[in-house]
Amino acid sequence: MQLNKSQLEDFDHDGFLFFANLFDNKEIEILLSEVERLAKINANSIVREGDEQTPKILLQVHETDSATASEAFRQLACSPRTLGLARQVLRDDALYLHHSKINMKAAIEGSTWPWHQDFMSWKLDGIARPDMVTVLVMLHEATPMNGCLYFVPGTHRLNRLDPHYDTSTAYRFWAADTATMREVMAKHADPVAITGHAGSAVVFHCNLLHASGHNLSPVDRWHAFLSFNTVANRPQKVDNPRPEYVRSTNWTPLILGADQPIVESVAPA
């Protein structure tokens, strides 16, 4: 999948590029059934929330030897439609995944993600430059009602803002404070709702401000996130590094797969 000059210019200007129906129904069915299998695993790489301890985040799904390893998600991560896309917008072919995750924003219970730039956390992982992007693949339709993401276009050009540590949800992380967001939003275009059918995808820059609301609907909203870094920009040593499932030290460049559909695969024993 070759991006043209105007798509690359749009990415550089807005900080994201959207692709409707990039994956077909059969591929999405395979990935959905993988998420159902993975959600039953008991592992530290699964973050849960609420009284029912509903899974919120399944991490490290792209590796071959992690507790939550999935061959189908590995194929997704090496596809020309994900890795190939990331290579083009980062203008670098030697990429690895800083992490992969499925955010399972469950019907009714699934909670918000406050405004943040991903690089707020990733710089503290020891990564020097914002040469990172995420490819998000919608496994369900995303709507404002079920907690789709919102992007503030062009905010990746602000570079990294000073973060504060947000403890309002089951996943504690570095986010933007209210005063910063009021100021930034007064000066930028309105946020864009990232809605689409299952199988749609969006690639976005690690300094783009984004957030999502609570899932008020009776249907789940599952999204896969593949966060690519350049091997040249791999993290430096830090004190008390976060766990391997969020801060990968597997810096072997990913090998680009053939441009073929995600196929059903046998789950690891």
List interacting residues with ligand SIN (CB under 6 A): 103, 113, 149, 210, 212, 223, 225
Query: Of 152, 148, 150, 181, which Cα lies nearest the Cα of 164?
Result: 181
Report the partner that residue 79 touches, choosing among ligand SIN, Mn ion, none (CB closer than 5 to 8 A by kind). none
Q: Which is nearer to Mn ion, 11 or 119 (CB)?
A: 119
Q: Which stretch binds Mn ion (CB under 5 A): 70-78, 110-118, 182-190, 253-261?
A: 110-118
- Dihedrals φ, ψ of 24, to 5°? -90, 175
Token pair for residue 19? 């692709």
Among 27, 49, 63, 118, binds Mn ion (CB under 5 A): 118
64-93 positions binding Mn ion, by CB under 5 A = none
Query: Of 75, 192, 92, 73, which Cα lies nearest the Cα of 133?
Result: 92
CB atoms within 10 A of CB 259: 10
Q: Which is nearer to Mn ion, 112 or 195 (CB)?
A: 112
Residue number of the CB closest to ligand SIN reads: 212
Q: Label the pairing between strands 210-212 and 113-116.
A: antiparallel
Report the partner that residue 223 touches, choosing among ligand SIN, Mn ion, none (CB closer than 5 to 8 A by kind). ligand SIN
Least distance CB 182 / Mn ion (angstroms): 20
Q: Which is nearer to ligand SIN, 228 or 257 (CB)?
A: 228
Q: Which is nearer to ligand SIN, 57 or 257 (CB)?
A: 57
Give residues in contact with Mn ion (CB under 5 A). 118
